[in-house]
A and B are shown apart, each in its own frame.
Chain A
Amino acid sequence: RKEVEQDPGPFNVPEGATVAFNCTYSNSASQSFFWYRQDCRKEPKLLMSVYSSGNEDGRFTAQLNRASQYISLLIRDSKLSDSATYLCVVNRGNSGGYQKVTFGTGTKLQVIP
């Protein structure tokens, strides 16, 4: 089983729709979580961190479910400019300072006019 799994999509949604992606992780020792956005042939850019209590940044809401070991990203009122691949990232560390950063393979979103 992969350490981080995402549905590759594509998710094709009309403008103004609400869309949600999930990302599951296999290691319960995972400590921190992030969502990145990657446009075609560009570098990934940090979208938002994911906090235990859930967090919101404008139209974007991120949530963490430790019991079921998944994180989610909700996008409300989708814009054409939201079309991109969304990557989830899971960090795992220990007291020895070893950090493992694992990227999911990404979920592709296409917002349609």
Chain B
Amino acid sequence: EAGVTQSPTHLIKTRGQQATLRCSPISGHTSVYWYQQALGLGLQFLLWYDEGEERNRGNFPPRFSGRQFPNYSSELNVNALELEDSALYLCASRSTGQGNQPQHFGDGTRLSIL
């Protein structure tokens, strides 16, 4: 079974540009979560999508946005990039079947802002 896949692996942008990160969940998983992890820091929750809808959002400005497609894949968009947006962006998917299921993570996209 394929795991969570994220693309691109690395992304280099300059201040003010826009970045799009992509995530494909594990087959059968309908929930997708996005996290930001700056170097040496913990996971910061960004967004949660389930069944195509945004279910919850972390404490990030509106220039962080995303969407979930009918096939449950997801995009994270970051507008007006700032230097402090440099981080590892992790996507996780989760089954919302019976019981509480764990999240499974992709390898992440490393975003560097120059």
Contact = CB atoms under 8 A, between A and B. Distances in A.
B48 to A, nearest CB: 8
Contact of A103 (B42, B104, B106, B108): B42
Interface string A83-113: 0000101010100011111111110000000
Interface stretch (A11-19, A21-29, A43-51, A54-62): A43-51
B6 to A, nearest CB: 9
B102 A45 contact: no
Interface string A50-75: 00000000000000000000000000
Contacts of A106: 42
Contact of B103 (A31, A41, A101, A105): A101
A41 B31 CA distance: 24
How many chain A residues sit at the interface, stated as a range, is 20 to 34
Interface string B49-67: 0000001100000000000
A107 to B, nearest CB: 11
Of B43, B45, B105, most A-chain CB atoms within 10 Å: B43
Contacts of B88: 41
A93 B96 CA distance: 11
Interface of A: 31-32, 34, 41-46, 49, 87, 89, 91, 93, 97-106
Interface of B: 31, 33, 35, 41-43, 45, 48, 55-56, 88, 90, 94, 96, 99-100, 102-108
User: Lowest 3 CB-CB distances: which A-B pairs, in order?
Assistant: A32-B100, A105-B42, A43-B105
